Structure 1
Amino acid sequence: MPEIKTAPVNIGHKYRKYTFHAAVAVLVIFHAVGFWGMLFSGKPEYFQRLTPMNLILTNILLFAFHRRWNVAFILFAALVFAAGFLSEVLGVHTGLLFGDYAYGASLGPKVWDVPLLIGLNWLMLVYTTGHISNHTKLPWPAKALIGASLMVVLDVFIEPVAMQFDFWSWQGNHIPLSNFVGWFLVALGLQVYFQMAPFYKSNRLAPTVYLIQLLFFISIYCLL
């Protein structure tokens, strides 16, 4: 009986098409649990302490879908992390850029009174909004403006939630206009860098991460 030869099965390729949907499902579940826990569990402080884990998980999934890692991308990630973190250090200690505010305990360990995860949050937001703006056919300056504007839109809904759940607090419980102006200017500079940096910019999960974040904070904001 002649031997029947079969083509080898690439298991990784076979299941690769499911990874995107699995990642989206994980993100939706984690944010849905956080939404319920912070608003309806009766123990919001417990779920506040899980915020760093949620942010780290989101970034792991997001950057797992980044393609073609190179030196330019690693440099971009490091510099955006550092720029975002240091802008917050400047803001907390001087009141410049954003206004008079202070971080609470919900975002984890701090250096110079700023949670380390804030740098990661800046990186995530610059990266995701940059990808969204790249879906347009506009010149790169317009894309940078769109990316920075999307970051400000998200911040509008983050701020009241942050004050409610001890992420950070504003002097006099008043969110100043300078916060949004400063946020836009820092974001714009980092968006320009995103557009100029020579790394491959095609991450299919990036727009979904931004959308989930936006819906999460809008939902909580509407129920406060």
Structure 2
Amino acid sequence: MRTDRRTTILWWVIAAQLLLAVGTTLAGWPQPILNVVLLVVVVAMHALRRYTLMSFAVFAAITFVVSNVYENLSILTGFPFGDYYYSDNLGLKLFLVPLVIAPAYFATGYFSWQIAHILLGVTGARPRGRDVFLVPLIASFVMVMWDLIMDPNAATAGGSWIWEDGGGYFGVPLVNFAGWFLCVYTIFQLFALYLARRGPAAIRPEADGLGDAYRYQAIVPYVSVALVLTSRFLTREDGVVTDPAGQQWQLADLGETTMLVSVFTMYFVALLSALLVSRTRAI
């Protein structure tokens, strides 16, 4: 199988992003903003081989608008994520939400969308029939796996956002994950309906002919996200953190739990996806 120049360049960019993820993991000091920027670059290079520029822009717009609306709404009213607010750790904000949050949704959401295609065996460039609803559903589960690992680290341990009443999952409330599912499902379902309505005009003519390398290139960045999120286990942090409700949590327990959950969620899904791609090729 011949590897074209765009595929080679994309692999190098992904390798750089993965190297950053591994490096920050081993050093114990993740750089979320830089990592998100590189992830967005990978998304753009990957997505524009399958989708038209208009479809890419629509997915970006849907993600940015929906995520920002839901986040600001929850900060103001408690719906759908619960009562929380952002600290100044993540830099400049759009209204009440840091600017980096929407690109993070966009990048990880895109990889979750692609992995959902692999898990469901949807090899076409756009979902059709019942897959218009199944792909968003599965992509939402894959996406929430990210938050399941991220939130305790970034919120309770990192203080990037603050849960005012704490919660049972290392200071994070259960309602947060229900809100996340609603938010990302809204994003994916709107995009799926857009693709269904636009039909072939939403994708590039060569999109259905993209090979296995293209699918692997969506899996590796998803793994890199998991690597960054499991850094607390690898760096063996000690100490105690207290959430706003007064509950104390051991950082070592948080790191160990994060690693355990990630192995059986994000890492498992990535492994299963890679095996499915390989198995499809073998058949």
Is the TM-score greater than 0.5? yes
5+ residue gaps, structure 2, are 123-129, 196-201, 237-254, 256-283
Corresponding residue number in structure 2 for 1:9: none
Q: How big is the shift at 1:216?
A: 2.5
Instruction: Give the Cα–Cα distance (whole angstroms) in 2 for the partners of residues 15 and 187 of structure 1.
Output: 33
The answer to whether the Cα contact below 8 Å between 1:52 and 1:108 also exists between their aligned partners in 2 is no
| 2:33 is the alignment partner of 1:52 | yes
Matches within 5 A, 1:1-224: 15-37=5-27, 39=28, 44=29, 50-66=31-47, 67=49, 68-135=51-118, 136-137=120-121, 139-140=130-131, 141-163=133-155, 164-174=157-167, 175-198=172-195, 199-200=202-203, 204=215, 205-220=217-232, 223=236, 224=255
Against the structure 1 CA distance between its residues 72 and 62, is the aligned structure 2 distance closer, same or farther, given a 3 Å change threshold?
closer
Amino acid at match of 2:175: S
Residues 79 and 144 of structure 1, relative CA distance in 2, 3 Å threshold: closer
SS in 2 for 1:134: helix
State the Cα deviation string for residues 91-131 of structure 1 (Å, max 9, x = none): 11221100111212232211222101211112222221111
Report which stretch shifted further, 92-101 or 162-171: 162-171
3-state SS of 2:85 partner: strand
Of the two, which has the highest radius of gyration? Answer: 1
Render the CA deviation track for 1:38-89: whole Å, top value 9, x for unaligned. x3xxxx4xx5xx4212211211122122224332331221122111112111
Distance 1:72 1:207 in 2: 21
Unaligned runs of 5+ in 1: 1-12
| 1:197 counterpart SS class | helix
Q: Distance in 1 between matches of 2:110 and 2:7?
A: 23
Q: CA RMSD in A?
A: 2.4
Aligned residue pairs, count: 203
- Sort the Cα spacing of 1:220 and 1:194 in 2 relative to 1 into closer, same or farther, 3 A: farther
- Relative distance call for 1:134 and 1:88 in structure 2 (3 A) is same
3-state secondary structure, aligned to 2:147:
helix
User: Deviation string for 1:4-26 (max 9, x for gaps)?
Assistant: xxxxxxxxx86444223312221
SS at match of 1:191: helix
State TM-score, norm by structure 2. Answer: 0.64
Kept in 2, the 8 Å contact 1:91–1:97? The answer is yes
